[in-house]
Amino acid sequence: MQLTPLDWTVVALYFAFNIGIGFYYKSRAGSSVNEFFLSGRNVPWWLAGTSMVATTFAADTPLAVTGMVAKGGIAGNWLWWCFVASGMMTVFFYARLWRRSGVMTDIEFSEIRYSGRPAAFLRGFRALYLGIPINCIILGWVNKAMVDILMLILGVTKLQALAIVIGMIVLTAGISTLSGLWGVLVTDMFQFVIKMSMVIALAVFAVQAVGGIDQMKVKLLAIDATRGNQGSVLSFIPDLDSAWMPMITFFVYISLNWWATWYPGAEPGGGGYIAQRMFCAKDEKNSLLATLWFNIAHYAVRPWPWILVALTSLILFPGLKDPETGYIRVMIAYLPPSLRGLMVAAFAAAYMSTIATQLNWGASYIVNDFYRRFLKPKATDHHYVVVAQLATILLTFVSAGVTFYMDSISGAWKLLIVTGAGTGSVLLFRWYWWRINAWSEVSAMISAFLVSVALQVGFHFDTDKPVDFAYIMMITVGITTVVWLSTTFLTKPEPQDLLIAFYRRTRPSFLGWQPIARLAPDVKPSRDGLSNLLDWISGCVLIYGVLFGVGKLLLHETTIGLSLLALGLLGGVVIYWDLNRRGWSSVVD
C-alpha cells in the first residue's frame, strides 16, 4: 500500500499527540504508586469504561474475528459472544464488591480473603505467572497481529516488521512509564475515537466494493453452496450439524465457557485490567456504570464493522491460506488513498492502547504483589514507581521474543481458554461462600493446567478441532471442580477473625455468609440477590437484543431487526428502573 507524505504526517501527528499526553501526566503519575497504577481512584465511569473497550480493541481483534468468520460464518463469533453472561455478572454481582475491597490489584485480594502461607503463595505465584508469561503471551499475539499488518501494508519482511513493532512498544512503554494510568486512560479515549471511526469507514467502503448489502448476501449464499456441511455464513446461530461447530461444541460455549474459564478481559467475576478500571473509579456507582458501558460497547456496539469487512473478504479474497489477513487485504485494496494515513494511525492506536494497558497492568502485579510484598516491603513510593518503570521495560522485550512463536491469534485465544478451564467457578464463589479458602484456588489452578495439558499432550486432543475442544473443556472443568471442592472440605476454613474483617469490608451477600454475618450484627446484610439476578438477565437481553438487532438491520432484515432491538432496549429500561428503584445510595460507598 502506497503511503504519501500526507499519510506519514498524519501518523506522525498521532504519535506526537500520544507523547504529549505522556509528558502532561508525568508529574501526577510519579507522585505515588496509587496515582501511577490507579489514577488516585478518582476516574469517572465514562473514561474508565471507554478505556476497557479501547484495551480490548487491539490490532489483533479484527484479524481474529475475520478468521472466525472465514471458518464458521457470523456464528463463529460465539467463541467470544458466549462471555456476555460473564460480563454482565461482573457488572451486577461483582463490580461494587471489587470497589469496596480497596485493593490495588485483583491479586492483592488473596491476602484480604485468605490467610497465612497459602495466601502469600497464591498472591506471589499469580503475580509472576499472570504478570510475566501469561501477560507476554497476550502481548505476543497483539505483536503478531501488528507484524502481519505491517508486512502487508509496508511490504517489509517479518524481521523488519518486528523491528518496527519493537520501536512502537518502546514508545508505548515510554508513555506508560511517564504517565501511569492517567496517560493510559486519556490516550485510550483518543485512540478509541480514531479506531471506531476508521473501522466504520472501512466497512462502508468494503460493502460498496461488493455491490452493497443485497449483492453481498447473494454472493455469500453462492459461497455457502461450495462449503459443504458448514451451514450458512450469514446465520447468527450455528447449524448444529455443521462440521465446524457441532451441537456439543456450541453447548459448551453457551453453558460452560462463560462461567468456568479464566480468560483475560473476561475473567469470571472480573479481574486483570477490568478489575484495575473498577478500582480506579470514583465510587461504587462509577465502578458499576463503567463495567456496564464496557460490556454494551464491547459486545453490542463494536463487532459489526469488523464482521462486515470479514464477510466481504470472503468474496473479494476467496481461499486465503491465512484468512485472518483478509481484513488487511480489504483495507489495502479498497480504502481510499485519502484515508490510508488515518487507517494506519487507527491500527497503531488499536495496538498501542492494548500494549499500554497490558504493560501497566503487568507491572502492577510484579511491583505491588511480588516486589513490594516479598522483596522490599518498606521502600518509598518513588522507589516503587521506578521499579514499575523497569518492570514495564522488561515486559516490553520479553513479549517481543514471544511473538516469533505465535502461529495463530485465535489459536492463542483457545490455548488460554482451555488452560484456565475450571478455575472460573472458584473465582465466582470465593465472594459468595465463606467456606472457600486459599487451597481451593491453588488446587483449581494446578488441576486445570495439568488436566488440560495432559489431554492435549498425552491424549492428543486438538483445540482446533471443535469436538476435541468441547471434550477438553468438559473434562477439565469436571475434574477441576471435583478437585477444588474436595480440597475445600478436606482443609480448614480461613480464620474467623479474617472472615469477619472481609465481611465487614466488602459486605457480600448474606446468603453464603450466614455463619460469619451472625458474628458481625452491626453490618447491614446485603439481600439484593434477586434484584441483581433480574438486572443480570436484563443485561444479557440488552446485549444480545442490540447485537442481533443491529446485525439484522444491517442485513436489511428490518422487521426482525427492529423487534430484537426493541427487546434489547426493554432490557435496558428494566435495568434503569431497578437501579433507580433501589436508589443509587445502595451502590455508593
Q: Mean pLDDT, to the nearest integer, of 446-453? A: 86
Residue 171 falls inside a structural domain = yes
- What nine digits make up the cell of 80? 467470544
Q: For residues 279 and 414, which has the higher predicted lDDT (pLDDT)? A: 279
User: Residue 240: is its pLDDT beyond 80?
Assistant: no
Residues 575, 437 share a domain: no
pLDDT band per the 50, 70, 90 thresholds, residue 514:
very high
User: Residue 202: is its pLDDT beyond 60?
Assistant: yes
Q: How many domains does the chain have?
A: 4
- What is the structure's pLDDT at 305? 95
How far does the chain reach from its first CA to its final CA, in angstroms?
53
Percent of the chain residues past pLDDT 90, beyond the cut: 35
Residue 238 falls inside a structural domain = no
Q: CA-CA distance, 349 to 319, in Å (whole number)?
A: 30
pLDDT band per the 50, 70, 90 thresholds, residue 263:
low
In angstroms, the Cα distances linking 46 to 36, 54, 146, 523, 579 are: 20, 12, 28, 31, 18
Q: For residues 514 and 265, which has the higher predicted lDDT (pLDDT)? A: 514
Q: Mean pLDDT, to the nearest integer, of 379-386? A: 83
Domain C-terminal end among 366, 385, 408? 408
Domain C-terminal end among 493, 516, 547? 493
* Phi, psi dihedrals of residue 44, rounded to the nearest 5°: -70, 160
> Helices 60-72 & 135-154, crossing angle to 10 degrees?
80
Residues 215, 196 share a domain: yes
Q: What is the mean pLDDT of the chain?
A: 85
Residue 119 falls inside a structural domain = yes
- What is the structure's pLDDT at 182? 77
- What is the structure's pLDDT at 222? 87
User: Residue 250: is its pLDDT beyond 80?
Assistant: yes
- What is the structure's pLDDT at 587? 47
User: Residue 449: is its pLDDT beyond 60?
Assistant: yes
3-state secondary structure of 195: helix
Residues 475, 399 share a domain: no
pLDDT band per the 50, 70, 90 thresholds, residue 31:
low
- What is the structure's pLDDT at 485? 96
Residue 157 falls inside a structural domain = yes
3-state secondary structure 501-558: HHHHHHCCECHHHHHHHCCCCCCCCECCHHHHHHHHHHHHHHHHHHHHHHHHHHCCCH
User: How many CB atoms are closer than 10 A to CB 175?
Assistant: 26
User: Residue 56: is its pLDDT beyond 50?
Assistant: yes
Q: Mean pLDDT, to the nearest integer, of 133-137? A: 79
Residues 199, 172 share a domain: yes
Say what the pTM is.
0.85
Least confident window among 17-26, 286-295, 479-488: 17-26
Residues 365, 448 share a domain: no
Residues 444, 384 share a domain: no
What is the domain extent for residue 508? Answer: 495-527
- What is the structure's pLDDT at 30? 57
Residue 267 falls inside a structural domain = no
Give strand pairing partners of 526: 509
pLDDT band per the 50, 70, 90 thresholds, residue 418:
low
Residue 512 falls inside a structural domain = yes
Residues 81, 199 share a domain: yes
Q: For residues 516 and 144, which has the higher predicted lDDT (pLDDT)? A: 516
Q: CA-CA distance, 448 to 69, in Å (whole number)?
A: 29
